[in-house]
Amino acid sequence: MQVSIDSGFSMAQHPSAAISMGELVSRRTSKAPRVTRRRKAGNQDIGLIERLKAGDQAALEAIFNLYSGKLYNVAHRILGEAADTEEVIQDVFWTVYRKAKSFQGNSQFSTWLYRLTVNAALGKIRRSKRNKEVEYEEFLPKFQDDGHHMVRPVVDWSDTLDEKYARRELQELLGQALSQLKPLDKAVIVLSDLEGHSDGEIAASVGLTVSAVKTRLHRARLFLRGKLAVHLGHSAA
């Protein structure tokens, strides 16, 4: 049996590799519609921000209606607390009103909104000093000196997961693991894997280089993978 794992590549030896790439990269490969959507949103944003700069208060409510849901989701995933998230959302939109005139349009308006949200959420965590950071090391893959996996064979648990757990349990399990990420990593993974932003957009939103975003994203994904593996009784390595 030949199972295609990626375009032009055939996995004759490993039918277990059949997990669909489509399932995984659908957010990133469906770029055309997203770009069109963003462009439309971008044009709409320009109109709204111009109205807001001219002092039209109804424009702020229109911006709130467009973005509050998405920004709330991002802030809540980073903070985990409903009360803190409400404060952050309130601060963000009040800042948008006060600082609308300083928005030059060098980045997308939505990128500015995400940057305000991420900064406000991270600032709240810094000030509260109640962030318990989990050490990643235990959940990252380990290798021998010759570069092979430390624990072999590596088990593919991807298929068994859906059989073992109900959808709700899986969501809780992963949500819990996600909440243990370092705040900035959480922001990066939420913007990437939940919101479908590109690495460049995330870099602009969180104030990192694209390469730093990629590094954080990779480590965060490895950590989440390790947490799931350990939960299933396998080695993270």
Dist CA 5 CA 19 (whole Å) = 7
Site for another protein in 49-88 (CB under 8 A): 57, 60-61, 64, 68-70, 72-73, 76-77, 82, 85-86
Residue 3 three-state SS = strand
Exposure string of 109-144, with b = 16+ CB inside 10 Å and e = fewer, is bbbbbbbbbbbbbbebbeeeeeeeeeebeebeeeee
Site for another protein in 101-140 (CB under 8 A): none
- Nearer CB in complex with another protein: 43/172: 172
* β-sheet bridge partners, residue 3: 11
Q: How far is the CB of 195 from another protein (least distance, A)?
A: 9
Q: How far is the CB of 17 from another protein (least distance, A)?
A: 5
39 φ/ψ angles, rounded to the nearest 5 degrees? -65, -45
Residue of the chain from 1, 147, 163, 233 that contacts another protein (CB under 8 A): 147
Element of type H or E holding 136: none
* β-sheet bridge partners, residue 11: 3
- Nearer CB in complex with another protein: 54/94: 94
Dist CA 134 CA 121 (whole Å) = 19
Residues that bind another protein (CB under 8 A): 5-6, 9, 11, 13-14, 16-17, 19, 21, 23-25, 27-29, 57, 60-61, 64, 68-70, 72-73, 76-77, 82, 85-86, 89-90, 93-94, 97, 141, 143, 146-149, 152-158, 161, 170-171, 174-175, 178, 189, 193-194, 196, 214, 217-218, 221-222, 224-225, 228-229
